[in-house]
Amino acid sequence: MAYSDFIERGNTTSFKGLFQLNDVYKEICNWAKKNRYDLDEKQYRCDRDHGEETLTIVLELKKKVNDYAKLGLDITINATGIKNIKAKNKVMQEGEVSISIDSYILRDYDDVWSRKFLNRFLRECFDKFIAPGRFDADCNECKKDLKDLKNMLKDFFNAPKLKK
């Protein structure tokens, strides 16, 4: 059974104002493709009340580091109070969007070492005492990717929209 080591939880980026939700989703997908992550949409839920929408999208990004470990990012997009507004011949959304990111390392995802207790114990000893640098390098890469994704989202929301 694969087991995960969480690196950071609850990193949140929020924005309130006018935005295009499709562009936010496309930016995350483009970032994932550029950084060799496999994207899987786990949940999409939309609720409508009195002309306002509440939207929840859960994305799972995974990248294979080696035959033993994968880097993972769980992204939750929560948009509340969304109203569709036509501005500059485009349909845009007005409301509040919050993007939460959890990062982790998924180890033994093929269930090779966990079948027997002794094998798992030996692998844990190897990771902890003989080759701790490998896990630290994976952890640093995951932190770098998390920081890069957060900066991309902040730039996306704070960047002025250019006229075409």
pLDDT recorded at residue 57: 94
**Contact by Cβ (8 Å): 62, 74:** no
CA 25 – CA 144 distance, rounded (Å) = 21
Token pair in block for residue 84: 């569709």
Q: Residues 39-62: pLDDT tens digits? A: 999 999 999 888 788 999 999 999
Q: Which residues pair with 91 in a beta bridge?
A: 86
Q: Where are the domains of the chain?
A: 3-158
Which of the two residues, 91 and 108, has the higher pLDDT score?
91
Angle between helix 21-34 and helix 132-158 axes, rounded to 10 deg: 150
pLDDT of residue 75: 95
pLDDT tens-digit series, residues 65-89? 888 788 999 999 999 988 888 877 8
DSSP 74-141: EEEEEEEEEEEEEETTEEEEEEEEEEEEEEEEEESTT-SSSSSHHHHHHHHHIIIII-HHHHHHHHHH
| 104-150 per-position pLDDT tens digit | 988 876 667 777 888 888 877 887 788 777 778 888 998 999 999 99
At residue 163, the pLDDT reads: 44
pLDDT of residue 97: 93
Higher pLDDT, 89 or 63: 63
44 CB-contact burial (10 Å; exposed 0-12 / middle 13-18 / buried 19+):
exposed
Q: How far is CA 107 from the centre of its chain?
A: 18
